[in-house]
Chain A
């Protein structure tokens, strides 16, 4: 591989690593403003991470070595999704035909070890969170495959980089694709990153949580890895979503760049707004909600099939 191409691929990797806590800080700040508080500074997630890395690590008496390795493996899997994800025109480090499958399954690997890490505690709270996480993830998977898969089928490419680049603005259907994909992409983000209305990232009542309850007994460096991993995951999905607007950079690179930034910022606003306005769904109705989102994902291909 060419060195300059590799360096170019490493650039988004480093950028996301640096920026992702900021994104969460941005969401939290806007939420605070919407609820009439001043709120923590935007940099708070950085402080949190720094604090966690200094703290001592506590392991449960029932925990085995799985608790010690699970956070690392799940973090490492999330890091690898970064290496596949393109930002705008920057080609990622790994880009090949079929990398969308690798992307989805790497997130699966991360989830697998989070579930194991939670179940290792042997407490019913973690078990509950793990069971819910596993169940809802099954219904989130079709959303990803229908959304990105239909774009792959339409464009004939199976690499995320190529798929994004095949969306042409001058085709009339492109706008429809962008709208449909960004709606289902948003629902995917909400589900996978445990935000409202699927999960409440703020509550500390164990019975109502999913992601937070899974990491209830983690502390110190383990919690650092889990938290940082979840920040990165939000950033990954935000970039994933913003990349649907890639075609704008066809006309003008700076226009594309600004659209990219604006979309990500709007996304944080929408997340904050949704979390302020909407209560979490009942656990029972979450699968139905996700199936509805799956149906939106299918729309892409239906439109394509019948317009042609």
Chain B
């Protein structure tokens, strides 16, 4: 087992060496990604074998007297997320090979490949770290390498802005993590994660620690109102990096939240209610914004916000369960969160990667100018279709299975009757259903506008599938089908995570939940089979009958053009108008006036509410305020020395006083 771990780290370093010493871009791209795949495969072997052990293995890097053991601890929660990261690494490397091969001649791939490898190293370390310092170093490394990954096309202005916003957001998040860890250290006197467990914190302190953790990790995960960096950073990164950031890196935030909750479950009764409210708002806000986007990758970024909201709903159910001492609710909440994290990883990496392939075909990301791609790329179309059905949470695919578990959690939690409680739970459940409905519009729309109908702008070149890219797609599609048709496998894993994390041997009732999910599996499989049989029968039937191809019914209007098709914005226009204020929608209209009309134009602009109404104005205010202190910057060395001395004296005074 240690061998697997060494092989994992060894191949990562080998990949770095390859990037450093190999000359040709072609070889760098192939070899570094190959090394990453091998590292991740060995890592996955380790993860699987460690998951089978009864007790979590530990690995001490070195000990230091005052700071404690710098160690890794591979408990089942860590291993679950480690598995997600490693599968993510395999598909990213495969896809990245194909995606970057187009850039081999035009620009250096060294920095982006280094960033990818460091990103996976950092994520693996932070998920398994058992020491605050290790964790924070890895956390910072992850943020830095993520930044380096985003700035691949660094000459573009939107890339610069998006990466900068990411960088700023992640640092604000880290600040709160520092505060949280310092508070925890003050209480326990240790920097090790295992000693944070059950620290018997006073209630107010536990609440403070929870909220610091929520801001710190929630900033990374993308809870509203900390979501603003996602739609800026994800679209501008190269697609395999977007997939990692959105599908894998956000999950480190979820991991952190689960950790913080499992150390010292918040005792304040208001916390889960607030968390539930925030999560519901995050989910609805995210998907409603996704509905209004024209940029394919920006739309996917907003959809990630929605999915983080759904995971947050499950987490708040888990806290409800902990506070009311209901093992079944804890189990359903935790399983919902873990399962949906895994699912979101699968379909979101798939969709982001497909978005990259679509981007390389069209050379732009504007959905409004696409259309009819299914005829030239049928396989890609099927893959995106599977991803879209899965992410809309429809049976028989995996998105449905995890939402089913969260719904079950709501129904179980409603049995903890306090006067208003079922009412609250019902609103949560309905909000989840409403989110599902909006996701259905968003993804049926995106798929239809890109793949169906006629091309909105003429495309002269053919679509050439890349074998590396498609191998990554096939892995993900296979995993989506397996987890969708047989969700009990993942639920079984979640059960062992649950029993280790909460030191409970799974009560009988949670086993019935595994049984309940088998019914979902039964329905999914039979739906799959029956639909297949019906398709076959229909095919046989229509062979006997006549079929004919003819132009679509034009309602008597002969001069139809492909631009008259329903577009992305017109499809969702009604939904956008309903939420116009929240979505920050503005419509710019130039009507063709006068009797000899000039060309008119119409434009719908949707900009993020938080970023444009809160962050940017606040930033402007801050700059204005700082500007008032400009006189301090006189440029004279004497003045600066005086400031330093004054500051030192001030600290001395403080130290003396205390």
Q: Identify the A interface with B (CB < 8 A).
A: 54-66, 68-69, 72-73, 75-77, 79-80, 94, 96-99, 101-102, 104-106, 108-109, 111-112, 115-116, 119-128, 130-132, 134-135, 137-138, 141-142, 144-146, 149-150, 152-154, 156, 158, 206, 216-217, 220-221, 225, 283, 287, 301-302, 304-305
Contact = CB atoms under 8 A, between A and B. Distances in A.
Interface stretch (B67-75, B400-408, B488-496): B400-408
B553 A135 contact: no
Contacts of B541: 221
A108 B430 contact: no
Interface majority SS on B: helix, strand, loop or mixed? Answer: helix
Contacts of A217: 552-553
B420 interface: yes
Contacts of A111: 440
19 contacts: A62-B372, A80-B523, A102-B520, A104-B433, A105-B394, A120-B452, A122-B552, A122-B565, A123-B553, A123-B560, A131-B566, A131-B572, A132-B574, A138-B441, A141-B434, A146-B426, A216-B553, A301-B422, A305-B423
Interface in B365-420: 371-372, 374-375, 378, 381, 385, 389, 392-395, 400, 403-404, 407-408, 411, 414-415, 419-420
Interface majority SS on A: helix, strand, loop or mixed? Answer: helix
A123 B548 contact: no
B313 to A, nearest CB: 14
Nearest to B408: A98
A149 B452 contact: no
Nearest to A132: B574
Nearest to A206: B555
Q: Which of B371, B372, B426, B445 has the most CB of A within 10 A?
A: B426
Contact of A60 (B438, B526, B542, B550): B550
A23 B570 CA distance: 36
A63 B550 CA distance: 10
Contacts of B408: 97-98, 101, 158
Nearest to B412: A158
A260 B452 CA distance: 44
Contact of B426 (A66, A76, A121, A153): A153
B538 A72 contact: yes
B604 interface: no
B160 to A, nearest CB: 36
Interface string B108-139: 00000000000000000000000000000000
Nearest to A135: B574
A94 B658 CA distance: 71
A138 B438 contact: yes
Interface string B538-569: 10011001111111111100001010111000
B547 A58 contact: yes
A152 B415 CA distance: 10
A98 B407 contact: yes
B208 interface: no
Contacts of B423: 301-302, 305
A79 B444 contact: no
B573 to A, nearest CB: 7
Q: Which of A66, A125, A134, A283 has the most CB of B within 10 A?
A: A134
B384 to A, nearest CB: 11
A102 B436 contact: no
Given A77-B531, A116-B385, A122-B454, 4 more contacts: A60-B549, A115-B444, A119-B444, A138-B434
B561 to A, nearest CB: 10
Given A56-B547, A98-B404, A138-B441, A75 B542 contact: no
B534 interface: yes
A102 B378 CA distance: 30
B444 A112 contact: yes
A63 to B, nearest CB: 8
A33 B646 CA distance: 97
A61 B534 contact: no
B516 interface: yes
Nearest to B552: A60
Contacts of B454: 62, 122
A115 B444 CA distance: 7
A216 B554 CA distance: 10
A12 to B, nearest CB: 17
Q: Which of A54, A77, A108 has the most CB of B within 10 A?
A: A108
A58 B548 contact: yes
Contact of B452 (A66, A76, A137): A66
B448 interface: yes
Given A79-B530, A98-B516, A217-B553, A57 B542 contact: yes
A56 B546 contact: yes
B144 interface: no
Nearest to B399: A105
Interface string B571-598: 1111100100000000000000000000
Contacts of A101: 403-404, 407-408
B375 A94 contact: no
Contact of B437 (A108, A128, A132): A108
A293 B483 CA distance: 36
Interface residues of B, number: 81
Contacts of A156: 415
Given A122-B452, A125-B555, A112 B389 contact: yes
Contacts of B375: 64
Nearest to B393: A105
B378 A65 contact: yes
Contact of A221 (B404, B429, B538, B565): B538
A220 to B, nearest CB: 6
Contact of B445 (A105, A109, A134): A134
Q: Which of A79, A122, A135 has the most CB of B within 10 A?
A: A122
Contact of A116 (B371, B448, B535, B578): B448
Contact of B430 (A56, A124, A134, A142): A142
Nearest to A302: B423
A153 B414 CA distance: 6
A302 B434 CA distance: 20
A301 B555 contact: no
Contact of A142 (B419, B433, B553, B554): B433
Contact of A73 (B438, B531, B551): B531
B394 A145 contact: no
Contacts of A109: 389, 394-395
Query: Which 6 A-B residue pairs are closest in the complex by CB-CB distance?
Result: A127-B566, A122-B453, A119-B448, A56-B546, A60-B552, A138-B437
A124 B565 contact: yes
Given A131-B572, A221-B541, A61 B551 contact: yes
B1 interface: no
A59 B547 contact: yes
B453 A62 contact: yes
A228 B195 CA distance: 64
A72 B535 contact: yes
A68 B436 CA distance: 26
A145 B430 contact: yes
A125 B566 CA distance: 8
A61 B420 CA distance: 57
Given A120-B448, A122-B565, A127-B565, A149 B430 contact: yes
B437 A116 contact: no
B231 to A, nearest CB: 22
Contacts of A80: 523, 526-527, 530
Contacts of A108: 392-394, 436-437, 440
B578 to A, nearest CB: 6
Nearest to A110: B394
B550 A61 contact: yes
Nearest to A98: B408
B545 A56 contact: yes
B371 to A, nearest CB: 8
A54 B545 CA distance: 8
